[in-house]
Structure 1
Amino acid sequence: MSSEEKDLTEALAGLRAQVDVQDRSYKGHNYPVCFVGTEATEILAIGRSRSEAIQIGRKLLDLGYFHHVLKEHSFEDQYLFYRFKEDEGKVHGESARRDDGEAISWASRIFGSGSAHTDNMQSRSYIHLPDVASGPAASKEHVVPAPLDEHNARLLDNVRPASWIDPKPDSRYNLVVIGAGTGGLVAAAGSAGVGAKVALIEEWMMGGDCLNVGCVPSKAIIRSAHAVHEVRKAAELGVLGVNPANIKVHFGAVMNRMRQLRAEISHNDSASRFASDLGVDVYQGRATFTGRNSVEVNGKTLHFSAAVIATGATAAVPPIKGLKGTPYLTSDSLWNLTELPRRMAVIGAGSIGLECGQTFTRFGSQVTILARTSVMGKEDMDAAAALISQMKSEGVEFLDHCSIDEVMHCKSTGFMLKYTLKQASGEAKGGVLEVDAVLVAAGKVPNVHNLGLEAAGVNFDRQRGVLVNDKLQTSNRSIFAVGDVCTEYHFTHVADFMARMVIRNALFFGSGKMSSLLIPWVTYTDPEVAHVGLYEADLHQRKTPFQAFKVDFKDVDRAILDGVGGFVKILTAEKKDTILGATIVGPDAGNMISEVTVAMQAGMGLGSLASVIHPYPTQADSIRKCGDLYNKSRLTPLVKTVFNRFLAVRR
């Protein structure tokens, strides 16, 4: 060992033994396990000049023995914070670091490299959790976003850091949240924001379905599909020179755009943001209740005053002969496609099946949607008819009242589906469908397995999920549930507002009730189908007298000019303007439904909507027109006679 190396070793040992390492704070931000540059300089200066001490400190930093907490400064004789390399493992809210000082990334854990790769990840779409992240083995396989390009690497480093450092548990938490989808994130952030001590546990990827495999990726590709459709119909609007036969979709570019946008958005749901910015103790691992007020994660026991179960739901896979073991797609794995299937079968005609079916048709796939009953059977009949007609005109094929008897797969020829159709006459008709890809979109089942719910005294059902009362409490009054795990309303905005309610009920003895929520929803096809309140079928079943006021877009100037179809239908109580429900079909129905929702929430009647000035020309003016129809309905023959006589006198 050279004399210089010996001096550095002795200086490091002296510094490590004498410097004060502790959590420090500056301008409201906490920096764990740090020492201060001025104190370190004083220790290194023993037997040396101060300038020599600074040079020794800089050499130790350059050799990687410690670093500035933000990596913005070399070693200085100033009030700056530094951290020893061996103390990195004690830091909460950061990823562990490699020997070279760089944070361990997702790509480096899988490929042994710090850079993102564009290798074919399709064959590695299913990777067991222990292979890619620290923590105990999960009970199931997780679909890893693929290909592992720069966008997916960025996504994963945000929502599933490759080597997250769990914090030291607090003695007791005000709230422990299990699941970091929309409901869990809102519950955690909102509770921490009002001063609660919060722990958030996520087994897989923060952001849940909405960010990773739901709303965000689906709306990204729906936008691309809409652009394709607009170009194809350009000639109808007088835009000449566009030959629909020459339009080509670069499916790889579409999916790359989706991955890029998803990665950009993912910071909002990132582990680092919730830990560092919001002050939430974030744990990566499987949560298991060990008692009525305790939960275990990664060998650590967390005690709580209240807890929220927000574990969501998983794509349901029907028990079809031959399906298990084949490379079918679900709403989890669909987003890993890099090549467009030439032919696709969609099993299920719910919102996911319809949105994806229309989107892939517009990209160029030959899509067949197989529905167990009627398509959109629970939706307004007029809305269902309008959407089905549009999708058929674009080339989507429907097989309704269809049972799938068997699925066979051959790597070279694709899938063969044997099915049976139930005819209107009651007779059955068999058939065979050959496709290159199968998307299973048959609904979801709640994630209630292996959570230790029995130990916590929480009642649950395998199909209905965690059972809650109107205040979202479980059978254990200290534990609540939100989102897909406990409700049939599988919508991001519903999970959001359920979480807001739980914050009040769990932390502040609130009395918010699920039954008080007025829930609108949208199917993001083209046209969009939006609804709030009750359907006509609901009112008939309840034997509630009502009136229906409908304005067709063929009578709305803006819709005529835009060349789009659709309608607004609003239901009111009989002889009253109290709005009971509404359905809107059109290209902007999802935005338009909010006006009706606000009116219902505020107790504003349909007659009053007629007096609200709407800009002309807009499609939303059709809502006002419904109000006009209601006001005209009040003009009974008797009232009209009275008005005629009164006005005759005034002439």
Structure 2
Amino acid sequence: MNRIETDICVIGAGSGGLSVASGAAQMGARVVLLEGHKMGGDCLNYGCVPSKALIAASKAAHAQAHSGSYGVAPVTPEVDYAAAKDHVQQAIATIAPHDSQERFEGFGITVIRDYGRFISEREVQAGDTIIKARRFVIATGSTPFVPPIEGIDSVPYFTNETIFDLRERPEHLIVVGGGPIGMEMAQAHLRLGCKVTVIEGQKALGKDDPEMAAIVLDRLRSEGLEIIEGAQAKNISGGEGSVTVETEDSQSFTGSHLLVAVGRKVNIDKLDLKAGNVAHDRAVKVGADLRSTTNKRVYAVGDAAGGLMFTHVAGYHAGIVVRSAVLGLPAKAKTAHLPWATYTDPELAHVGMLESDARKAHGDAITVVSADFGGNDRAVTEGKTTGRIKVVVHKGKPIGATIVGAQAGELISIWAMAIANGLKMTAITNTVLPYPTLGEISKRAASAYFSPKLFDNPWVKRVVRVVQRLVP
């Protein structure tokens, strides 16, 4: 049995773990990194990267069939589904070196390609190696949650971990789950020539502002996507090429392929957290400093910390841990400034408080302002006028923003920055943006906040009349 003593042992080489490991090592800490599966974790291999690559392929197909309004004759695209998957794999392969074992060994990190499990409060075993560390960082991420639906174990199904290996285009894809992953994959496959049915037990895109989510759902339905809401899957039957999903309200849907996208399960089963005195339920129990509530030598980041399950959140957590575990400085994670985006077309992005939550917290003390993409000149020129921005303001500061429309994931950035830094609405109106850009939609919303104060205020009008009479 080999033994290693180190400063920091990182368990998991996904986004959060890699960020902690590289940051700590480059600042001079001794680091051991454990990974029993693929370097880069879910984001690179099964999540963000492959899904966005497939979405890009589907956008190219959709553009060919809908170019008439630009004076370009539309054509029916000839979709090579296997070639689209080649594009996905090429995107993964291009990014993979950035997350590779060789790159991180180049930082001086000891990389062990095996799963780690606690054998004491200060020791983890990975294969035939025992690592004793001053600090441990659990960055094990999550995997698709497959619910215990009757019959599911007897039929072939896909999750986001296996759908990208499929080479033959599904004739009719049934998606169980109407969250971001389910809706992104549903639209992508629809545009690549599949018939698609989404079955959602509650509301599709239910964690977003319902008014804004409805704009996305209306667009998806107009493209031919069948979305069944309020239909809980009860029983699944069939076999290769024909799978039937029956719902609790006695509806029945049969398709050629099944994708299960109902949520995520944190990867903690292999860790033997009890041996490490690490409290947990569905995830590691941590405080605002991301430290275990029972073993202060242990941190958890990203999905393992039990909060929002996004790659960028894991990266944010990594910065908190490096500050604390490496530099010895106080640091706490917050959530109010964390954005998220769903990459359907149109995109749907959000940061801060939803309007409903803001009203519960502040009542009538909030102001809600909005602007439509139809009033943005760049959106008009691009033919992308479906969309809207909504901003929730309290005491002159934005506390929440939702954008639905073209490039919403990019446009939310200015509001994420404003909320993270406690900026006022004047910070947005004072910013000069190039014309014409979609970014001007944010200034339009900010201006809508100030317009009543300036244009509907009788005192302002009186002052203006006085100035015009008396000031030479």
- TM-score w.r.t. the length of structure 2 is 0.96
Matched with 1:206 is 39
SS in 2 for 1:319: coil
State how far apart, in whole Å, the 2-side matches of 1:215 and 1:608 are. Answer: 32
Could you tell me which amino acid in structure 1 is paired with residue 463 of structure 2?
Answer: F
- 2:462 equivalent in structure 1: 642
Alignment match of 1:409 (pick from 234, 238, 257): 238
Aligned to 2:84: 254
Could you give the per-residue CA deviations for residues 569-620 of structure 1, whole angstroms, max 9, x where no partner exists? Answer: 11101xx321111111111111111112222233321133112111111111
Q: What is the identity, as a one-letter code, of the residue corresponding to 2:23?
A: G
Partners of 1:328 and 1:624 in 2: CA distance:
46
Alpha-carbon distance in structure 2 between the residues aligned to 1:278 and 1:316:
35
> In structure 1, the residue corresponding to 2:412 is in which secondary structure?
helix
Partners of 1:442 and 1:337 in 2: CA distance = 20
Which residue is equivalent to 2:400?
Answer: 581
What one-letter code is carried by the residue in structure 2 that aligns with 1:264? T
What is the rounded CA distance, in whole Å, between the counterparts of 1:650 and 1:512 in structure 2?
Answer: 56
Cα distance in 2, alignment partners of residues 553 and 261 from structure 1: 31
Aligned counterpart in structure 2 of residue 566 of structure 1, from 352, 366, 387: 387
Q: CA deviation digits over 1:44-63, x for unaligned, max 9?
A: xxxxxxxxxxxxxxxxxxxx
Equivalent-residue separation in structure 2 for 1:389 and 1:187 (angstroms): 41
Q: Which residue of 299, 303, 309 corresponds with 2:128?
A: 299
Deviations 1:230-271 (A, max 9, x none): 11110021112x33xx32211111101111221121111111
1:190 to 23, 26, 39: 23
Deviation at 1:389, TM superposition (A): 0.6
User: Is residue 226 from structure 1 mapped to residue 226 from structure 2 by the alignment?
Assistant: no
Q: How does 1:143-154 map to 2 (within 5 A)?
A: none
Residue of structure 2 equivalent to 1:550: 370
| In structure 1, C-alpha distance between the alignment counterparts of 2:334 and 2:91, rounded to whole Å | 35
Structure 2 SS opposite 1:302: strand
User: Which structure: larger Rg?
Assistant: 1
- CA displacement, residues 50-86 of structure 1 (integer Å, 9 cap, x when unaligned): xxxxxxxxxxxxxxxxxxxxxxxxxxxxxxxxxxxxx
What letter corresponds to residue 232 of structure 1 in structure 2? A
Code of the residue aligned with 1:568 in structure 2: it is I
Decide which of 575, 589, 596 is 2:415's aligned counterpart.
596
Give the length in aligned residue pairs.
467
1:470 has 2:291 as partner: no
Whether contact under 8 Å (1:610, 1:626) holds in the other structure is no
Q: Distance in 2 between matches of 1:517 and 1:385?
A: 24
Q: CA deviation at 1:516?
A: 6.5
In structure 2, how many angstroms separate the alpha carbons of the residues matched to 1:640 and 1:190? 54
Counterpart Cα distance in 2 of 1:648 and 1:211: 63
Counterpart position of 2:168: 339
For the residues of structure 2 that align with 1:616 and 1:598, how far apart are their CA atoms? 21
Q: Could you say which residue in structure 2 is the equivalent of 1:398?
A: 227
Of residues 171, 174, 178 in structure 1, which corresponds to 2:7? Answer: 174
- TM-superposed CA distance for 1:340, in Å, is 0.8
Say if 2:149 is the partner of 1:330.
no
Q: CA deviation at 1:385?
A: 0.9
Q: 2:203 aligns with which of 374, 386, 390?
A: 374
| Structure 1 residues 279-318: aligned runs within 5 Å | 279-318=108-147
For 1:20-59, list aligned pairs within 5 A: none
Query: Structure 2 residue aligned with 1:459, among 279, 299, 322?
Result: 279
Q: Residues 179 and 206 of structure 2 are in contact (CA less than 8 Å); yes or no, is this contact kept in structure 1?
A: no
SS at match of 1:453: coil
Does the CA contact (< 8 Å) of 1:315 and 1:330 recur in 2? yes
Quickly say closer, same or farther: Cα 1:518–1:543, change in 2 above 3 A.
Answer: closer
Q: Does 1:512 align with 2:334?
A: no
Aligned residue for 1:360?
A: 189
- Structure with greater contact order relative to length (CA < 8 Å, sep ≥ 6): 2
Deviations 1:288-333 (A, max 9, x none): 1011100111122110000000111110011110001321000100
1:535 aligns with 2:368: no
Quote the residue 2:103 is aligned against. Answer: 273
Helix, strand or coil at the partner of 2:181: helix
> Equivalences for 1:485-496 in 2 at 5 Å?
485-496=304-315
Query: Gapped runs of 5+ residues in structure 2?
Result: none
Structure 1 SS opposite 2:288:
coil
Q: 1:326, 1:485 → 2: CA distance? A: 30
Q: Distance in 1 between matches of 2:211 and 2:418?
A: 23
Match for 1:507: what amino acid? Answer: V
The answer (yes or no) to whether the contact 1:350–1:376 under 8 Å persists in 2 is yes
**Percent of pairs with identical residues:** 33
Shift in Å at residue 639 of structure 1?
2.2
Partner of 1:119 in structure 2? none
Amino acid at match of 2:220: M
CA distance in 2 between counterparts of 1:356 and 1:460 reads: 32
After superposition, the CA RMSD in angstroms is 1.6
Q: Give the letter for the 1:347 counterpart.
A: V
Map of 1:518-529 to 2, 5 A cutoff? Answer: 518-529=337-348
Q: What TM-score do the two structures reach when normalised by structure 1?
A: 0.70
The answer on whether the counterparts of 1:548 and 1:570 sit within 8 Å (CA) in structure 2 is yes
Aligned partner of 2:247 in structure 1 is 419
Q: State the AA in 2 paired with 1:547.
A: T
Aligned-pair distance for 1:568? 1.4
User: Counterparts of 2:444 and 2:418 in 1: how far apart (Å)?
Assistant: 15
Q: Deviations 1:90-114 (Å, cap 9, x if unpaired)?
A: xxxxxxxxxxxxxxxxxxxxxxxxx
One-letter code of the match for 1:414? S
Name the SS for the 1:369 alignment partner: strand
Partner of 1:142: none
SS of the aligned residue for 2:154 comes to coil
Instruction: Tell me by how many angstroms 1:638 deviates.
Output: 3.3
Mapped partners of 1:183, 1:602: distance in 2: 23
Distance 2:319 2:427 in 1: 30
Cα pair 2:53 2:88 within 8 Å, conserved: yes
Misfit runs of 4+, over 4 Å: none
- Matches of 1:325 and 1:208, distance apart in 2: 28
Q: CA deviation at 1:487?
A: 2.6
Tell me the CA shift for residue 517 of structure 1. Answer: 6.6
Note if contact 1:606-1:626 (Cα within 8 Å) is conserved in structure 2.
no
Give the secondary-structure state (helix, strand or coil) at the position aligned to 1:551: strand
Corresponding position of 2:263: 443
Distance in 1 between residues matched to 2:38 and 2:156, nearest whole Å: 22
Tell me which amino acid in the other structure corresponds to 2:35.
Answer: E
- Equivalents in 2 of 1:186, 1:637: separation in Å? 51
- Offset, 1:450: 2.8
How far did 1:640 drift? 3.2
Offset from partner CA, 1:345-373 (integer Å, 9 cap, x none): 11111110010000000001111111111
**8 Å contact kept, 1:345–1:437:** yes
What aligned pairs does 1:229-248 form with structure 2 within 5 A after superposition? 229-240=62-73, 242-243=74-75, 246-248=76-78
**How big is the shift at 1:225?**
0.7
Residue 627 of structure 1, CA deviation? 1.8
Q: CA deviation at 1:648?
A: 4.7
Equivalent residue, structure 2, for 1:159: none
AA at the equivalent of 2:140 = T
